[in-house]
Structure 1
């Protein structure tokens, strides 16, 4: 499988270094669609801070990906649902750290989560 980022230099605004406009996945054998994942521990309790929830989200995503024989290196698309727009920088930094700086297509949406103490929810698509 080959992943090719597409960031046209004409006819569209430039992509910044933290995301790609599009990701072509050549010859994938498997696709994994991961539902929105929250910053909950194994008992279902949310982290008490934004940073704790982001760490739990990425730990949970790693566990889900591993169950499919994948890792964060297989993520080709990510959508973040933020309870507050002020969470954007922390969310971006956590994503970049988790992906080792690898840029992928991303979208961040400010939305009301189902519970007030769920601060961020992230869904991904992975390919192998």
Structure 2
């Protein structure tokens, strides 16, 4: 198992949230880049609300991690796209529910005008190593 160290070093502003400024990886043999996951369930239906879409996107990521023989502990970085800043609390709650309160990898959160489908309100990408 690689050693992941998440850092918020002196000389850089506080993150003010559940993420780290840097992720240092030592000893990784495998890397996985997971495509952006949206609020589409395995049966092809799209969750209606932004809150539901956040939960479904994280469930999709967990399924991808399992398929790759990984867990959320292998995550190095998340990139999150939301179409409305009002979804930030729902995103944070869904992340905590999926990965735990202490989960704080390197992360980027963007508010965007739209995603590939007009029904999508959230998309989450992940990079992981093992």
Residue 8 (structure 2) aligns with: 7
User: Relative to structure 2, which stretch is displaced further, 99-108 or 77-86?
Assistant: 99-108
Question: Could you report, residue by residue, the CA deviation over 1:65-86 in whole angstroms, capped at 9, with x for unpaired residues?
Answer: 1111011111110010101111
Q: Partners of 1:30 and 1:115 in 2: how far apart?
A: 31
* Contact 1:18/1:96 (<8 A) preserved: no
Unaligned runs of 5+ in 2: none
Unaligned runs of 5+ in 1: none
- Tell me how large the CA RMSD over aligned residues is: 1.2
Q: Which runs of 4+ in 1 moved over 2 A?
A: none
Question: Could you report, residue by residue, the CA deviation over 1:106-128 in whole angstroms, capped at 9, with x for unpaired residues?
Answer: 11111111222111000000111
- The number of residue pairs the alignment matches comes to 127
> Following superposition of structure 1 onto structure 2, how do residues 1-128 of structure 1 map, counting pairs within 5 Å?
1-10=2-11, 12-101=12-101, 102-111=103-112, 112-128=114-130
Q: Partners of 1:106 and 1:42 in 2: how far apart?
A: 26
Q: Partners of 2:35 and 2:18 in 1: how far apart?
A: 22
Q: Partners of 2:97 and 2:24 in 1: how far apart?
A: 22
> Could you tell me how far 1:15 is from its partner in structure 2?
2.1
Q: Partners of 1:110 and 1:14 in 2: how far apart?
A: 21
Q: Partners of 2:52 and 2:15 in 1: how far apart?
A: 29
Q: Partners of 1:80 and 1:17 in 2: how far apart?
A: 14
TM-score, length of structure 1 as denominator length: 0.92
